[in-house]
Amino acid sequence: MRLLALASFESSCDEQLQPPVFKRSSCYFCSSVKLADMVSHDLPAAVAHLQQTAETVALESLVGCAEDTDRLARWPAEQLRAIAAAELMGLHVPRNLGGHEQGLTALVAVTETLAKGCASTAMCYGMHCVASAVIAAKRTSFHEENFLRPIAEGQHVTSLALSEGGTGAHFYIPQLKMTHADGGYRLNGSKHFVTSGGEADSFVASGTTGDGDAGQFSCILLPKQARGITWLEPWQGVGMRGNSSRNVNLEDVSVSEEHLLGSEGDQIWYVFEVVAPYFSMAMAAVYLGIAQAALDAATQHIQTRRHAHSGQALSDEPLIQHKVGELWMEVERTRRLIYHGALLGDNGSPRALTPILAAKAAAGETAVKVTNEAMSLGGGLAYRENSLGARLLRDARAAHVMAPNTEMLKLWTGRAVLGLPLL
């Protein structure tokens, strides 16, 4: 039934000779659905089902809003509500709390699919998933009742607040001070570029009770309503404009000790067991989705754009066929690397580290390359202000800035291959 509907949707796209595909995002998206289906043959049944649910949400609730989300730099509240209504918010929440208790493969499959509809929404969703995996990792009954259960019920959005202006790309060296006070913690410092800043219901923040050496930090939950939290200027990014990636000051913010995740100082465990794999996979999936969306848009344009003097479609040009083949190879080998790392990670394989480290770097490079090439293949239509191609290119560029950035990840991948310590 569903396949039939998609097939007819696609043929209605093909009938148009020169559609402005770089504006009509709902049109290009139907071809990306076919590609998602191909990948889902390799997925466990439960993950394939989640991916199909994500595809429905992307088609019905994300694609149509993506342009406005970008233009207005508007946090995607409605889109996240649609994701919640489809029961996807509790992807990593244990089953006994109402969640799916899924791992990295599901994170990649769902986030990639959402990213094809709207990259900003997928980024907010990805950060929510990473933070919820961090909360679930060493949960207490306090975390279960106040955070994980509401997350699974779609009532609570969370996010990650690790990076700081002071230490920048070195997100693993927080300077946020956590002092013991009144049987809990008092927090003083700042965080920068917090996805869903000022919007999410809670944030997993990193802070230090000591001197802030690399790896010697703790993770703590910050409820949105805690006193002393001041969100700074609204986010106006070049790309990922719906992300509300805002800076925040924390002045004498008090939270009870129940908000601590794990034990003080056991963050090396958190970083390597949860933050790094989940963050790397979530971000890799976002950028993979962007690359696929750009390739789909370019492909559709090439298939439908015809020159009046020859009657030939762009797709009749051998040079363009070659270029499309090259881009497809780029996207598909990146996808294989990412899913390979996710699967090894889910199986607890010691070989997972290298592909997990490499995944975000590869996805970032692929997304920037493919969106850039798609801009050329899309011709003048793509070069128009706020075209789909332009948005995807701007969104893709965030990959190289977001820590750990591409260069750091390549360095760490090399160290992992050589058996050297990462930091």
Ligand X SMILES: Cc1cc2nc3c(=O)[nH]c(=O)nc-3n(C[C@H](O)[C@H](O)[C@H](O)COP(=O)(O)OP(=O)(O)OC[C@H]3O[C@@H](n4cnc5c(N)ncnc54)[C@H](O)[C@@H]3O)c2cc1C
Stretch that binds ligand X, among 147-155, 165-173, 334-342, 381-389 (CB under 6 A): 165-173
Q: Contact letters (x/-) for ligand X, 210-249, by CB under 6 A? A: ---------------------------x--x--x-x----
3-state helix, strand, coil split of the chain in percent (to 5) is 60, 10, 30
Residue 326 or residue 407: which is nearer to ligand X going by CB? 407
Q: Which two structure tokens, joined as six digits, stand for 171?
A: 């997100």
Angle at 393 between CA 387 and CA 396, to 5 degrees: 140
Residue 73 or residue 401: which is nearer to ligand X going by CB? 401
Binding test (CB under 6 A) with ligand X, winner from 16, 407, 417, 423: 407
Binding test (CB under 6 A) with ligand X, winner from 171, 270, 278, 412: 171
User: Three-state DSSP class for 268?
Assistant: helix
Stretch that binds ligand X, among 7-15, 266-274, 306-314, 395-403 (CB under 6 A): 395-403
Assess 392 for contact with ligand X (CB under 6 A): no
Binding test (CB under 6 A) with ligand X, winner from 74, 403, 414, 415: 403
Assess 374 for contact with ligand X (CB under 6 A): no
Q: Contact letters (x/-) for ligand X, 1-40, by CB under 6 A? A: ----------------------------------------
- Identify the bridge partners of residue 222 per DSSP, sorted by sequence position: 203
Residue 110 or residue 409: which is nearer to ligand X going by CB? 409
The answer to whether 50 and 113 have CB atoms below 8 angstroms apart is no
User: Three-state DSSP class for 236?
Assistant: coil
Least distance in angstroms from the C-beta of 392 to ligand X: 14
Q: How many CA atoms lie within 13 A of 326 on its CB side?
A: 11
Stretch that binds ligand X, among 78-86, 164-172, 207-215, 370-378 (CB under 6 A): 164-172
Q: Give the residue among 250, 264, 265, 165 at the shortest CA–CA distance from 214.
A: 265
Q: Which two structure tokens, joined as six digits, stand for 283?
A: 């971000």
Assess 193 for contact with ligand X (CB under 6 A): yes
Burial code of 91-122, b = ≥16 C-beta within 10 A, e = fewer? Answer: bbbbeebbbbbbbbbbbbbbbbbbbbbbbbbb
Binding test (CB under 6 A) with ligand X, winner from 48, 127, 176, 390: 127
Binding test (CB under 6 A) with ligand X, winner from 27, 398, 409, 416: 398
| CA–CA separation, 220 and 294 (whole Å) | 38
List phi, psi (to 5°) of 102: -95, 170
Residue 169 or residue 226: which is nearer to ligand X going by CB? 169
The answer to whether 151 and 132 have CB atoms below 8 angstroms apart is yes
Residues that bind ligand X (CB under 6 A): 127, 159-163, 168-169, 171, 193-195, 237, 240, 243, 245, 398, 401-403, 405, 407-408
